[in-house]
Amino acid sequence: MFGKRLLAAGATAVLMAGLGACGGGGGSRGVDPAAVTDVGQDDAGTASKAPQAPPSPDTVSGLRDSVRHLARKTTRATRPHLVKQCTSATRQIRHTQRTGTGTHRTTRTWYTTERYQTCKKVRRGTETYTRTVRPQRWCVSLDNVDGDTAKDDVWYQVTPATYDEARGTDEHARMEFTPSGTGC
């Protein structure tokens, strides 16, 4: 009994150590050590009131440059019009019934007609529909992206809420958001 508990405890410890080594914790793997600053101090070197969590790797920040809304672009197109076409048919079903035993055994056979349908889609002309060429997009352009002064006029696709927030701010105001895509 004691051996089973010891074995279970050992397996749990090995599993937890393995998960911790695989990146379950907040390690600094993939981070430039020179870019890491002391969390307890602000830019002036004084102690800050509360430690702030580092931003998500997907989050970008910079100075708002301009905003752009691209409406959905559609066109009319044609495609084959498919209709369901069914044909009726019949087939003969054979039935047999055996009665009696030994030399008094008889077999009676009769047939019934079963009706069925086979359906398939066939092309019958064409139909016109509205095809989306470009989906609707909301975009924000940033300067000094993530503090790099060489990265200016970088366009990001954003949510409508982030777009409205950017429209409400002044030009060159600091913004931080998680983009849904790049380019515009």
Asked whether the predicted pLDDT for residue 165 surpasses 80, the reply is: yes
pLDDT digits (tens, 9 = 90+) for 144-159: 888 777 778 888 999 9
Measure CA 34 to chain center: 35
As to burial, measured by CB atoms within 10 angstroms (0-12 exposed, 13-18 middle, 19+ buried), residue 156 is buried
Asked whether the predicted pLDDT for residue 123 surpasses 50, the reply is: yes
Give the pLDDT of residue 16.
66
Report residue 34's pLDDT band, with 50, 70 and 90 as the boundaries. very low
Domain boundaries, the chain: 55-71+136-184, 82-132
Average the pLDDT over 157-182 and give the result: 89
Nearest to 114 by CA among 87, 91, 97: 91
Nearest to 89 by CA among 116, 111, 113: 116
pLDDT digits (tens, 9 = 90+) for 46-74: 444 444 445 556 888 888 888 999 999 99
Give the pLDDT of residue 6.
61
Give the pLDDT of residue 103.
86
pLDDT digits (tens, 9 = 90+) for 127-139: 999 999 999 999 9
Question: Can you tell me which residue has the tokens 């937890």?
Answer: 16
Report residue 94's pLDDT band, with 50, 70 and 90 as the boundaries. very high
- Confirm if 78 and 95 have CB atoms less than 8 A apart: no
**pTM for this prediction:** 0.46
